[in-house]
């Protein structure tokens, strides 16, 4: 079993003893998503820590998007709940890249690919994505790539 999955199970027990309802619900949801991923496909398999991080990142993104949607609909109570769940998931994700780190990674990828304009954004993204996996939102990465390729 992956270390991260084991940590989630341990933290679930701790949260249940502390009667922390938001944390309990969020960790249960995360474990459920991990289990669903493990049984998807033809054979059951154990996820690696990297795959667990990918699942947790996907769940965190869902929470952020839901919070934005609830804010837009004026449902602040539900938006706050989604943000609280996202905060719990963030504890299990790798630290996010700073703007400076992201800028230098993108600049290196542009130099490596020799890209010279927005039409070659896909080539740069293919190089950058594996390097930032789980440590930067795709929207943030593509925005930086676009900014550097357009020369602004």
State the pTM of this model: 0.76
For residue 1, the model assigns a pLDDT of 65
C-alpha distances in angstroms, 69 versus 55, 63, 64, 84, 88? 21, 10, 9, 15, 19
**Closest Cα to residue 63, out of 38, 26, 97, 37?**
26
DSSP 8-state symbol, 97: P
Full pLDDT tens readout for the chain, 152 residues: 678 899 999 999 999 999 999 999 999 999 999 999 999 888 888 988 888 988 998 999 899 999 999 999 999 999 999 999 999 998 998 888 888 999 999 989 888 888 888 888 888 888 888 888 778 888 888 889 898 888 74
For residue 151, the model assigns a pLDDT of 72
Distance CA 77, CA 67 (A): 10
C-alpha distances in angstroms, 89 versus 21, 134, 150? 14, 12, 34
């Amino acid at each position: 079993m992956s270390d991260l999955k084991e940590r989630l199970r341990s933290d679930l027990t701790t949260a249940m003893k502390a009667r922390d309802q938001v944390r309990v619900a969020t960790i249960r949801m995360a474990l459920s998503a991990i289990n669903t991923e493990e049984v998807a496909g033809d054979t059951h398999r154990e996820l690696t820590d990297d795959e667990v991080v990918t699942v947790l990142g996907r769940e965190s993104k869902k929470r952020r998007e839901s919070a934005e949607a609830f804010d837009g609909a004026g449902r602040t109570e539900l938006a706050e709940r989604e943000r609280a769940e996202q905060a719990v998931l963030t504890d299990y994700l790798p630290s996010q890249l700073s703007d400076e780190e992201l800028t230098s990674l993108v600049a290196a990828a542009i130099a490596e690919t020799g890209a010279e304009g927005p039409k070659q954004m896909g080539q740069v993204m293919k190089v950058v994505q594996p390097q930032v996996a789980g440590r930067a939102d795709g929207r943030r990465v593509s925005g930086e790539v676009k900014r550097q390729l357009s020369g602004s």
